[in-house]
């Protein structure tokens, strides 16, 4: 008898949980978005020390025109969603460093948050941090070997540059301030998605090199919502029709044509 009662209570408990999950799913919605105009972004040239030389030779190939540096959408841009039901960035924030970049290129975090730099690069780095536009090191230089981590903490709100004493070309920006939300990593076409959002108002922002380049208000109300973040132009209204994205290969082909024309 006891075992029958126990089996029955388990069935009730499972049924109750199923009902709650179904109900929750009915109120959670996704926001899908697209970044446009990112191809127009060019990385700002970096100031290199006087004696620093990156190579003996850097010459054009002689057959095809050199392409100008372009922003890498999936790595250099950061999309952040903020809103009443979005959790703030968690402690510690871990940033992957690979290929001479951190991903995302702009890291958003709250002041005092511990930032873990995970060096997944081929080469060792010697990171230090300065406030944008200043040269005083707020985080001292220290070698971070390949496949090791280093934890740093930013003292106050503001925009910082994470630099590499060995490679002046290294790029990474840190934005410390209140109200940082959920990071939505874009893919190479600029598409991003936020899942499991409750109904309400949200804000989506795009950052490049530590600067907010686009933002849009999103109202989630009972269905999937789309948004287009147009960099360099006014943001498209929420729930606007989603333009059919090109396949990755097509997008790459288009980029090649642009480079060639350039």
Report the interface residues with another protein, using CB under 8 A: 50-61, 63-69, 72, 74-75, 98-101, 103, 120-124, 126, 143, 146, 165-167, 169-171, 187-188, 247-249, 252-253, 255-256, 259-260
SS3 of 252, please? Answer: helix
CB of 197 to another protein, least distance (A): 25
CB of 122 to another protein, least distance (A): 6
Encoding tokens for residue 158? 């503001």
CB of 53 to another protein, least distance (A): 4
SS3 of 98, please? Answer: strand
CB of 124 to another protein, least distance (A): 6
- Smaller CB separation from another protein, 12 or 56: 56
- Smaller CB separation from another protein, 34 or 113: 34
Encoding tokens for residue 196? 């499991």
Encoding tokens for residue 252? 């790459």
Indicate the helix (H) or strand (E) that contains 196. Answer: strand 191-197
**How many CB atoms sit inside 10 A of residue 12's CB?**
9
Selection from 184, 199, 173 nearest residue 229 by Cα:
184
Encoding tokens for residue 62? 């002689």
- Beta 149-153 vs 182-183: how paired, if at all? unpaired
- Smaller CB separation from another protein, 153 or 169: 169
CB of 68 to another protein, least distance (A): 8
Residues 6+ positions from 160 with CB-CB distance below 8 Å:
129, 130, 131, 132, 138, 139, 154, 173, 174, 175, 176, 210
CB of 46 to another protein, least distance (A): 10
CB of 40 to another protein, least distance (A): 17
- Smaller CB separation from another protein, 114 or 254: 254
- Smaller CB separation from another protein, 49 or 222: 49
Backbone torsions φ then ψ of 35, nearest 5 degrees: -95, 130
Residue that is written with structure tokens 């080469």 in the block = 123
Selection from 90, 81, 31, 74 nearest residue 205 by Cα:
81
Residue that is written with structure tokens 């024309």 in the block = 261
- Smaller CB separation from another protein, 187 or 198: 187
- Smaller CB separation from another protein, 16 or 68: 68
């Amino acid at each position: 008898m006891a075992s029958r009662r126990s089996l029955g209570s388990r069935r009730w408990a499972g049924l109750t949980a199923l009902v709650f999950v179904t109900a929750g799913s009915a109120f959670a919605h996704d926001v899908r978005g697209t970044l446009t105009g990112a191809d127009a972004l060019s990385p700002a040239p970096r100031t290199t020390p006087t004696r620093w030389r990156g190579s003996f030779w850097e010459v054009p190939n002689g057959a095809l025109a050199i392409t100008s540096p372009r922003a890498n959408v999936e790595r250099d841009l950061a999309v952040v969603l903020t809103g009443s039901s979005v959790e703030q960035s968690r402690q510690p924030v871990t940033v992957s460093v690979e290929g001479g970049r951190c991903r995302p290129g702009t890291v958003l975090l709250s002041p005092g948050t511990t930032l873990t730099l995970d060096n997944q690069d081929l080469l060792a780095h010697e990171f230090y941090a300065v406030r944008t536009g200043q040269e005083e090191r707020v985080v001292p230089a220290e070698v971070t070997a390949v496949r090791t981590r280093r934890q740093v903490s930013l003292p106050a709100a503001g925009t910082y540059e994470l630099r590499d004493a060995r490679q002046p070309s290294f790029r990474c920006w840190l934005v410390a301030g209140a109200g940082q939300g959920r990071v939505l990593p874009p893919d190479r076409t600029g598409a991003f998605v936020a899942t499991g959002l409750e109904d309400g108002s949200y804000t989506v922002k795009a950052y490049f090199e530590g600067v907010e380049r686009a933002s849009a208000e999103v109202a989630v109300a009972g269905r999937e919502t789309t948004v287009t973040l147009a960099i360099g132009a006014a943001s498209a209204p929420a729930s606007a029709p989603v333009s059919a994205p090109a396949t990755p290969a097509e997008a790459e082909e288009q980029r090649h044509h642009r480079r060639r024309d350039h």
